[in-house]
Amino acid sequence: MDLHVTLIFIGLMAVLQVPATFFVGIRRVKTGVMIADGGDQTLLRRIRAHANYTETVPITLLAMAAADFAGAGDMMLWIGGCSLLLGRVVHYFTLALTDGTSLFRAAGMLLTFAAMLMFGGYALWTNM
């Protein structure tokens, strides 16, 4: 175990957080709304897309690191990491750039949950 795969995904997910935060800020400047969403639906969607990313990514990366420490193989880490990455990108863009009702948004959440459950379950299973 050397955490190299996990560290790649931690880095990728951290870098992806920056544009998500930036797009909220850009919309705030454009609308002049500095607190909450001011009733602006685009700002609200961007806030929620950013918040959902922030709510799900850290716990999934912690579970990934736990699974890695528990002995998960590189293949599992790559599959789960790619599932998380794809899930978050699809969910973010579907929510931030559309009305959020697309099946792609649900698919993004399912990919995220798959990674979260796989990593968390592996860490639990191997340490019981």
Q: Where are the domains positioned within the chain?
A: 4-126
Query: What's the Cα-to-Cα distance from 66 to each of 3, 41, 71, 83, 90, rounded to whole Å?
Result: 10, 38, 9, 17, 25
Average pLDDT over all residues of the chain: 96
Number of neighbouring beta carbons within 10 Å of residue 47: 19
Question: pTM value?
Answer: 0.94
Q: Per-residue pLDDT for 66 more than 80?
A: yes
CA 109/CA 94 separation, integer angstroms: 11
What ranges make up the beta strands (E) of 1-128? none
Q: How much is the pLDDT for 28?
A: 98
User: Span 57-70, mean pLDDT?
Assistant: 97
pLDDT of residue 1: 62
More confident residue, 101 or 76: 76
| Domain 4-126 coded CATH 1.20.120.550 | yes
